[in-house]
Amino acid sequence: MYKKSAIEIRDLFLEKKISAIEITKYFLNRIEKYDKDLNCYINVLKDRAFKKANELDQKLKENKFVGKLASIPIAIKDNMHILDEITTCGSKFLTNYKAVFNSTLVDLLEEQGAIIIGKTNLDEFAMGSSCEDSSFFPTKNPWNLKCVSGGSSGGSAASVAARLTPIGFGSDTGGSVRQPAAFCSTVGYKPTYGRVSRYGLVAFGSSFDQIGPIATNSKDIALIMEVIGKHCPKDSTSLKLPLETYLDNMPTSFENIKIGIPYHFLEQLKPQVRKNFDDAINILTQKKVQIIDVDLDILKYCLAVYYIIATAEASTNLARFDGIRYGKRSKEAKTLNEIYELSREEGFGEEVKRRIMLGTYVLSSGYLDAYYKKAQKVRTLTIKAFEKAFDNCDFVAMPTVPSSCFEIGSIKDPIEMYLQDLFTVPANIAAIPAITVPSGFDKDQKPLGFQMFAPALDDVKLVQYASLVEETFKLTQKIPPLFDKE
């Protein structure tokens, strides 16, 4: 069962070869058996999952509508609301916060028969690149238990890689779906900004945040996007576009496809990462893909732009966590000021405090023009640079990560950790779709990823051609040896 795709699992259910209850039990048993080694889940939702599975079995028995995602187990990053379940955001601050509504994502998934099996671990408030900044525990990489799973959506990526669930969801603010997906040899997708509703996602950087799926293959991503890529009136940034069809008319060749590569930006790549990327490009060239050099030199400023704007937005978004309206209130507080100060001191972790301070600084009087407004101008130039590049090519490609997964605790310097986002943040800055597919392993058998960007709204074309790239590489179905067991 664990070797099957989400689509295959659904089809077995629809053909009545296996029940939703059996599917649910199977994956919950794998979680119980293996998650103690990985720490993917903050909360496993057994009762909710079995209730939904029973409902699906009864509907199928009565030949009623069961949905496009019928019986597919799905894990949700714990910064998205599920009615009556705790939403911790990986923080001590919210260990007592029970959601009072469903996120639009959860509503859409459950309407189509998905079974939500758990809430996955993350860097606190989605701020991190390793899943070490969770207030509860670090999530380990299924390919090497000494290494990080990536972040901030490390729990979902590791769970999919270890086949504890066929589909996981993360939020991608600066690469938080794609970077852990690459570290764990899975497929991770960041849709066009506004393509998937953010209603019910706890905000980090509102102009960057985008919910995205993680799966073992691109066709499962396509199936999911047919369900969740829907306009939401509750989200003012949600695009008013019809649902699109991803699985029909899938391409079978790369005829007339051009991929642009910003070779100048990639000059500082580590040798193993560069070799892996060059090997991937050579494979695609043999399949008649046209490779062209594109001028995206402005990408060297993207990391600075991202950490100025994102932290500014984070400092505003996290102001709501004051010990009064949401989360835990300090028991030591005696005055109103102490409620604010001590609740945040006790509730927030080091990285969250660091980003709030940085964001407050760049928004402060005297620095707003010098940093924040200048960063917004460079953001506009980045959008224009991508538009110009896409005039000459269908996609832009680069590695997903500057290195393979690193050992837990090995990176102490925050700046070095921020550099993990070097190749992923451009997509968030430009509000364009991006996807990573597995592209092999380094000499230590740690996974690496191949990343593709497309123009805004070209989600269908990007996912479809990513599936063709994946089939060409023939790597996505590999399973970490420790978890390649029933």
This model's pTM is above 0.85:
yes
357-393 confidence digits (pLDDT tens)? 999 999 998 899 999 999 999 999 999 999 999 999 9
Please say if 176 is a catalytic residue.
yes
Query: Domain 6-257+390-483 has what CATH class?
Result: alpha beta
420-446 confidence digits (pLDDT tens)? 999 999 999 999 999 999 999 999 999
Instruction: Report which residue type is found at 10.
Output: R
Q: Measure the CA–CA gap between 461 and 194, rounded to whole angstroms.
A: 17
The one-character DSSP state at 93 is G
173-230 confidence digits (pLDDT tens)? 999 999 999 999 999 999 999 999 999 999 999 999 999 999 999 999 999 999 999 9
Q: Measure the CA–CA gap between 161 and 168, rounded to whole angstroms.
A: 10
Q: If we measure between CA atoms, which residue out of 113, 4, 108 comes closest to residue 57?
A: 113
**Average pLDDT of the segment spanning 33-41:** 98
Q: Measure the CA–CA gap between 203 and 67, rounded to whole angstroms.
A: 29
Name residue, tokens 């224009």: 384
Among residues 52, 77, 119, 190, the one annotated as catalytic is 77
The CA–CA distances, whole Å, from 296 to 342, 367, 397 equal 45, 28, 11
Among residues 19, 171, 176, 343, the one annotated as catalytic is 176
Can you say whether the dihedral through the CA atoms of 359, 361, 364, 368 is positive or negative? negative
330-360 confidence digits (pLDDT tens)? 999 999 999 999 999 999 999 999 999 999 9
Burial tier of 260 (Cβ tally within 10 Å: 0-12, 13-18, 19+): buried
Please say if 152 is a catalytic residue.
yes
Give me the pLDDT at residue 365, please.
86
Give me the pLDDT at residue 295, please.
95
Q: Measure the CA–CA gap between 360 and 406, rounded to whole angstroms.
A: 31
Among residues 19, 152, 185, 404, the one annotated as catalytic is 152
- Average model confidence (pLDDT) for the chain? 96
The residue ranges of every structural domain in the chain are: 6-257+390-483, 299-365
Q: How many residues does the chain have?
A: 486
Bridging pattern class, strands 211-215 and 167-171 = antiparallel
Question: Cβ of 256: how many Cβ atoms within 10 Å?
Answer: 9
